[in-house]
Amino acid sequence: MSPEARTTSYYADKLGSLTDLFGRPASLGPRGLEVGGRTYTIVEDVILLGEEPGGAAEDIRFTFGEEWRSYGTILPEHEEEFERYFDLVDLDALKGSRVCDLGCGMGRWSHFLKDRVRELVLVDFSEAVFVARRNLAGARNALFFKGDLTRLPFREDFADFLFCLGVLHHLPTPCLDEVRKLRRGAPEVLVFLYYALDNRPAYFRWLLAAVTVLRRVLCRVKDPFVRKAFSAAGAWGSYLPLVLLGRALRPLGLASRVPLYDFYHDKSMRRIEADVYDRFFTRIEQRVTRQEVLGLRDAFSEVKVSQSLPYWHFLLRR
């Protein structure tokens, strides 16, 4: 069977879902998925929406594509992270729901949802979505799309639940404005945005300011060997020493005063290395305070911010 035939067969029994998702009749033609007079090419079971951001976001798209191709393995600690992110969500209530993973990356969170929901819609604007497709190879209830996260051609309320974790703060548009736009896609939304260290001592912010200067230089580096070498060096030379310092101070009750300790003390070096890559090779990094998150009440009837790591992740209801 040819690659094209295999791709077509994956969506042959999903045309009802695709019709509902787009809000218009969907069919499979010789060139791909046909919806409302448009044809979307399908490559390796990924539907290309054809509206990828360029210009200001092109380097961001490149970075995340490279990151998840380099660190695309789902690790044991990802399950514990999944539970942290979804601490505000009634997972049992998602049974029978269509759930959208917006900015899915390598699909690590969808991996832990695939057997809990009726259908998954995974979207990413980078090549990472092909990694996600491989990581969810055994899931028959997943739809994969590559395109601009902020201009999806789907109908309003295309999902029952939508989550977008660690994505919008890397876009060139104000991240809280992008959060407000998500209310169009689903009645309930889970989001994670980098926090402004507003619940930490002042020296955390001083350290962040120094890191930011370095990040703005390193994000221009495109050589994959240099990126991976720096990520490994940063994990072993900076993150690990701080974790070890936190462990040493734990008997004194001071571990949480050490930067990076709280989140990384139980992580493998491979997992830490991936985060170093993410932190230092992404040009855009927006940060928000808890109070700014609560300001989303102007668009949502309920804003529930978790008091637990990672900061800040929050659940929104229309």
Query: 23-34 pLDDT, tens per residue?
Result: 999 999 988 999
Interval 280-317: pLDDT, tens? 999 999 999 999 999 999 999 999 999 999 999 999 99
CA distance 132 to 106: 4
Instruction: Delimit the domains of the chain by residue range.
Output: 65-141+154-194+293-317, 202-280
What's the token pair of residue 167? 């994505």
pLDDT band for 7, please (50, 70, 90 cuts). Answer: low
pLDDT tens digit sequence for 70-117: 999 999 999 999 999 999 999 999 999 999 999 999 999 999 999 999
2 falls in which pLDDT band (50, 70, 90)? very low
Q: What pLDDT is attached to residue 51?
A: 59
Long-range contacts of 11-18 (CB under 8 A, 24+ apart): 11/42, 11/45, 11/47, 11/143, 14/143, 17/98, 17/119, 17/143, 18/143
CA distance 234 to 279: 10
Query: How confident is the model over 179-204, as pLDDT tens digits?
Result: 999 999 999 999 999 999 999 999 99
Q: Which two tokens stand for residue 47?
A: 């539907």
Residue range 209-221: mean pLDDT, rounded:
95
Q: How far apart are CA 20 and CA 155, in angstroms?
A: 8
pLDDT over threshold 80, residue 56: no
Exposed, middle or buried, 141 (CB in 10 Å: 0-12/13-18/19+)?
middle
Beta strand 119-124 pairing with 142-146: parallel
Does pLDDT of 122 surpass 50?
Answer: yes
Could you report the per-residue pLDDT of 160-176, keeping only the tens digit for each? 999 999 999 999 999 99
Tokens for 220, please give them.
Answer: 């221009």
pLDDT-based confidence at 138, cuts 50/70/90? confident
The pTM of the full predicted model, rounded to 2 decimals, is 0.94
Confidence of residue 57 (pLDDT cuts 50, 70, 90): confident
What is the per-residue pLDDT for 50? 82
For the chain, give the percent of residues with pLDDT over 70: 96
What's residue 52's pLDDT?
53
CA distance 127 to 60: 11
CATH code for residues 65-141+154-194+293-317: 3.40.50.150
pLDDT confidence tier of residue 5, bands split at 50, 70 and 90: very low
pLDDT of residue 175: 97
